[in-house]
Amino acid sequence: MHTLIENLGRQGALKAAETESARRAIEAAITYMSDEETGVGFLYSGWCQAALPHKRLHDEQVWKVSTERVTLVVEPGRRNLPGAEMEWVGVPYGSRARLILLYLQSEALRTQSRDIELGRSLHAWLGRLGIPIGGKSFKDVREQADRLSRCRLTFHVQAGTGRAGLVNQNIVDTAMFVDDAPGPQGSLFIETARLSETFFDQLRKHPVPLEEAAIRAISNNSAALDIYCWLAYRLHVLSSAKSISWNALYSQFGASYARLAHFKIRFLENLAVASAVYPAADVKADEKGLILKPSRAPVAPRIIPVARIQG
């Protein structure tokens, strides 16, 4: 795909696209290739193996996804109402929730602190990804930040013969918004949010570096984001080719699909988009599933010092 763009140019490559899905992949590749800014984000390895839902669930519904190595359970939080009433807030979902999570974790590792600046910092970061903070966009970011602040999660990670987990753990210890702030919008970013100690500890031990240019190019596609993060986690540690069956892929990525056949079609489309922003990824699809081959990481690995975490 990248060679096609280099040989035919942007317009020529787009004209050569035979389907709308091929066009989306070429557009992602063009955006990625023309991005001259450098930047690295980080994500806890658990999120690269099991991700949030793509679409809104019922507010009281628990989200669960299981893979070969990880089981993720996300429980929705609740909001106090006047009097003794409470209401379910719902689990976070979609691309905005993923971008906020990526921001929180990237900043925590960059500053080596559980306390993450919000407000202008988050606005600036989302702006770098081409997401304006205003109108519906602000509403979407505010809603997903609220859901992330209130939800509780469990990562059960297969480790040897046993299972280790973040048990009933909040992502952050403080909300990212205050509900009773003055002004027409009714809520504002607070100055800082604090990652929970257990989550921060796991992030520092198991970070996966991601290329910001790639995230920018696919920032509105939650499925492609999940596949990109998964490939960034898996490919560079392989010592030989690894086959992943369609059933295993369906278990990990297909919770939104009632039928495996429908999942296959959309997964391959989103795989093409993810591969468009990860040129080194060596991935082939066949009738049995995917064949992953050892590939260079999208970002050169960095050593993240793990020191004693202060409360």
Kindly tell me the sign of the dihedral angle through the C-alpha atoms of 269, 270, 271, 277.
positive
Which tokens hold the place of 171?
């992502």
State the amino acid at position 107 in one-letter form: E
**Which pLDDT score, from 0 to 100, does residue 302 have?**
55
DSSP per-residue codes, 184-235: TTS-EE-SEEEB-HHHHHHHHHSEEEEEHHHHHHTTT-HHHHHHHHHHHHHG
pTM: 0.87
pLDDT of residue 162: 62
Q: What does the alpha-carbon distance between residue 274 and residue 128 come to, in Å, rounded to a whole number?
A: 19
Q: Write the DSSP assignment of the chain as a string of letters.
A: -HHHHHHHHHHHHHHH--SHHHHHHHHHHHHHHT-----EEEEEHHHHHS---SSPPPTTPPEEEE-SSEEEEEE--EEE-STT-EEE-----HHHHHHHHHHHHHHHHHHT-SEEE-THHHHHHHHHTT---SHHHHHHHHHHHHHHHH-EEEEEEEETTEEEEEEEEESBSS-SEETT-SSTTS-EE-SEEEB-HHHHHHHHHSEEEEEHHHHHHTTT-HHHHHHHHHHHHHGGG-SS-EEEEHHHHHHHH-TT-SSHHHHHHHHHHHHHHHHHT-TT-EEEEETTEEEEE----SS--------PPP-
Query: Which residues sit opposite 286 in a β-bridge?
Result: 289
Between CA 126 and CA 36 the distance in angstroms is: 17
Residues 270, 271, 272: CA angle, nearest 5 degrees = 90
pLDDT at 183: 46
Rounded CA-CA distance 117/266 in Å is: 37
User: Which tokens sit at 81?
Assistant: 């109402």
Enter the tokens of residue 166.
Answer: 């973040």
| Angle at 257 (CA atoms; ends 256, 260), nearest 5 degrees | 145
Query: What is the pLDDT at residue 298?
Result: 93
Looking at residue 32, its pLDDT comes to: 87
Q: pLDDT value at position 186?
A: 42
pLDDT given at position 195: 92
Give average pLDDT by consecutive 10-residue segment, the chain, 311 residues: 70 78 87 84 94 96 91 92 86 95 93 86 78 77 89 84 73 70 48 87 94 93 97 96 96 91 95 95 96 93 49 42
User: What pLDDT, on a 0 to 100 scale, did the predictor assign at position 55?
Assistant: 95
Rounded Cα distance, 92 and 101, in Å: 10
Residues in Cβ contact with 114 at an 8 Å cutoff, skipping those fewer than 6 apart:
108, 194, 195, 196, 197, 200, 309
The pLDDT of residue 160 is 61
CA 253 to the chain's CA centroid? 13
> For residue 178, which amino acid is it?
V
Q: How big is the CA angle at 251 (ends 259 and 44), to the nearest 5 degrees?
A: 140
